[in-house]
């Protein structure tokens, strides 16, 4: 009997190698469950059943032959639908890519495949990863498994909902302004955005190339660490990738936080947070102190400009990245007439309104006459914010802040008010603007829905960050399962 909700990566490894069940049985069990459960959740855009069962058989053969298998061998994962898996439909949540089959594997996929991970399917996302609720997906509305009247967060909402409803053990998402951490927070999971450059972006459909990172969503810090170890590293196909190694075992480096300095940001007034979040946040701060950390107040004077800065830089990059969807390549090519007609009609019909809004905004801030006033100024502000973080990391090892200002909101609550929607990214965007690693852990106040507790670290200090996150997780046992 396989109990899906109890599974973690190490547990699966143990059960597979001690022959409690086969990889085939496990994979089959997941698909049987998904077939029932996903009618209610709509986490998956596409299931990859045949290929997954074939992969599982391969793993079973290795086990039967007595070969040593890696930790991720036979582990079922869900993959956000903007990450390419060869010969597989990859839509990025957009009608413009409704029929697009990936011609190659993303580097992160290639690496996971080499370790024997199994891909259950592609998960629903906000169109081109633009959104915080997965409501901008052209295809379906993914529900939050903790409360079906609420959004799962976004843009990696399908990945988060799949794990939270036990339709996957862990998943990959992408995080440009919070899209791994915010849905993790809304669904009671761990979400990790690696340092910019830690993970290759090759094969990730670009939103804003200077901010995008692929990152894991999981039930535990340990699982997130195992996935991070598997996907980091220099890649000749992505010039921004760095020669960074991460050992998942570093989460056990220390068993207390003595000597660790943790900063809380003065500019975020804890008293102004909603009451239940303040309770949850303070409780966990206290716990960090109990573990031996010292908490000090630090200042990032221009933090409040991060969101405005993000909503200039991101659309600017998005508008140029999305120029490639011209109705001739990738897209449904059902339009005729002059080249201009084809462009207009394809992009007019197949892009959703949030995507169009950002293309218009991005084109505007890059246009001559406005470039200096908007794009260039935002870059200057970005440099300022980066420097302020640099200074702060001379004094403290980690910074903590909430992941989101609220718990998961209801469907239609923000979708018609873009500014309100953008404000939900207020605590996640700074890490992207400064290229820093960040992790969100589930925390609870008095209500039943989770918030997120976020750690930020200096560039490539994932080991310190995950060690602290692991200790906090283990000492509070805040994770709740459905």
What are the structure tokens assigned to 277, written together?
């979040």
**Torsion angle (degrees, nearest 10) of CA 5, 9, 12, 18:** -150
What are the structure tokens assigned to 207, written together?
């939103």
Catalytic residue among 37, 45, 80, 111: 80
Shortest Cβ 176–ligand GLN spacing (Å): 4
Q: What count of other Cβ atoms lies within 10 Å of the Cβ of residue 326?
A: 16
Does the annotation mark 168 as catalytic?
A: no
Shortest Cβ 396–ligand GLN spacing (Å): 25
Catalytic residue among 22, 94, 155, 241: 155
Helix axis angle for 9-17 and 221-231, nearest 10°, is: 80
Spatial strand order in the sheet of 213-218: 44-47, 118-123, 76-80, 170-175, 213-218, 190-193, 438-443, 451-457, 398-402, 261-265, 294-298
Shortest Cβ 285–ligand GLN spacing (Å): 26
Shortest Cβ 25–ligand GLN spacing (Å): 35
Shortest Cβ 207–ligand GLN spacing (Å): 5
Q: What count of other Cβ atoms lies within 10 Å of the Cβ of residue 209?
A: 15
C-beta closer to ligand GLN: residue 199 or 285: 199
Shortest Cβ 169–ligand GLN spacing (Å): 23
- Could you give the count of Cα atoms lying within 13 Å of 418 in the half-sphere of its Cβ? 10
CA-CA distance, 331 to 99, in Å (whole number)?
A: 7
- Those residues whose C-beta lies under 8 Å from the C-beta of residue 353, and which sit 6 or more positions away, are none
Shortest Cβ 122–ligand GLN spacing (Å): 16
C-beta closer to ligand GLN: residue 13 or 122: 122
Q: What count of other Cβ atoms lies within 10 Å of the Cβ of residue 158?
A: 36
C-beta closer to ligand GLN: residue 158 or 178: 178
- 104 burial level (CB within 10 Å; 0-12, 13-18, 19+): middle
What are the structure tokens assigned to 97, written together?
């890519």
Does the annotation mark 155 as catalytic?
A: yes
Contact 192, 228 (CB under 8 A): yes
Catalytic residue among 168, 179, 200, 424: 179
C-beta closer to ligand GLN: residue 211 or 221: 211
CA-CA distance, 191 to 160, in Å (whole number)?
A: 9
C-beta closer to ligand GLN: residue 174 or 287: 174
Q: Which residues bind ligand GLN (CB under 6 A)?
A: 129-132, 155, 174-179, 207, 314, 425
Beta bridge partners of 438: 193, 456
C-beta closer to ligand GLN: residue 110 or 175: 175
CA-CA distance, 72 to 61, in Å (whole number)?
A: 15
Chain residue at closest Cβ approach to ligand GLN = 179
C-beta closer to ligand GLN: residue 238 or 425: 425
- Which residues are identified as catalytic? 80, 155, 179
């Amino acid at each position: 009997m396989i109990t899906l909700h109890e599974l973690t990566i190490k547990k699966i490894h143990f059960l597979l190698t001690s022959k409690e069940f086969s990889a085939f049985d496990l994979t089959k069990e997941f698909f049987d469950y998904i077939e029932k459960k996903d009618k209610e959740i709509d986490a998956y855009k596409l299931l990859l059943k045949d290929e997954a069962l074939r992969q599982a058989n391969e793993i079973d053969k290795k086990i039967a032959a007595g070969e040593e298998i890696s930790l991720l061998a036979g582990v079922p994962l869900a993959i956000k639908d903007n990450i390419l898996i060869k010969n597989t439909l990859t839509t990025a949540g957009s009608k413009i890519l409704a029929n697009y089959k990936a011609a190659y594997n993303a580097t992160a996929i290639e690496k996971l495949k080499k370790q024997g991970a199994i891909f259950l399917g592609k998960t629903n996302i906000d169109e081109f990863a633009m959104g915080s609720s997965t409501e901008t997906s052209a295809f379906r509305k993914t529900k939050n498994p903790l409360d079906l009247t609420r959004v799962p967060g976004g843009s990696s909402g399908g990945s988060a909902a799949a794990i939270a409803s036990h339709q996957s053990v862990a998943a990959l998402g992408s995080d440009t302004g919070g899209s791994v951490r915010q849905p993790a927070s809304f669904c009671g999971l761990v979400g990790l955005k690696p340092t910019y450059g830690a993970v290759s972006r090759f094969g990730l459909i670009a939103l804003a190339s200077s901010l995008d990172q692929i990152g894991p969503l999981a039930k535990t810090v340990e699982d997130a660490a195992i996935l991070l170890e598997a996907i980091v590293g220099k890649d000749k196909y992505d010039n921004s990738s760095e020669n960074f190694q991460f050992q998942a075992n570093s989460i056990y480096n220390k068993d207390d936080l003595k000597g660790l300095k943790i900063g809380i940001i003065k500019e975020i007034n804890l008293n102004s947070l909603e009451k239940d979040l303040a309770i949850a946040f303070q409780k966990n701060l206290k716990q960090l102190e109990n573990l031996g950390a010292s908490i000090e107040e630090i200042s990032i004077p221009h933090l409040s400009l991060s969101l405005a800065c993000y909503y200039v830089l991101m659309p600017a990059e998005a508008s140029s990245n999305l120029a490639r969807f011209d109705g001739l390549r990738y897209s449904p090519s059902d339009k005729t007439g002059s080249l201009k007609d084809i462009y207009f009609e394809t992009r007019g019909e197949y892009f959703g309104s949030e995507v169009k809004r950002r293309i218009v905004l991005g084109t505007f801030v890059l246009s001559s006459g406005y470039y200096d006033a908007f794009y260039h100024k935002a870059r200057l502000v970005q440099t300022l914010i980066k420097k302020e973080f640099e200074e702060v990391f001379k004094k403290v090892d980690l910074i903590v802040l909430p992941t989101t200002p609220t718990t998961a909101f209801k469907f239609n609550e923000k979708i018609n008010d873009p500014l309100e929607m953008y404000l939900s990214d207020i605590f996640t965007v700074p890490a992207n603007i400064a290229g820093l690693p960040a992790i969100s852990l589930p925390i609870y106040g008095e209500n039943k829905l989770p918030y997120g507790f976020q750690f930020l670290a200096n560039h490539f200090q994932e080991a310190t960050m995950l060690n602290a996150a692991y200790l906090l997780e283990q000492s509070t046992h805040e994770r709740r399962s459905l």
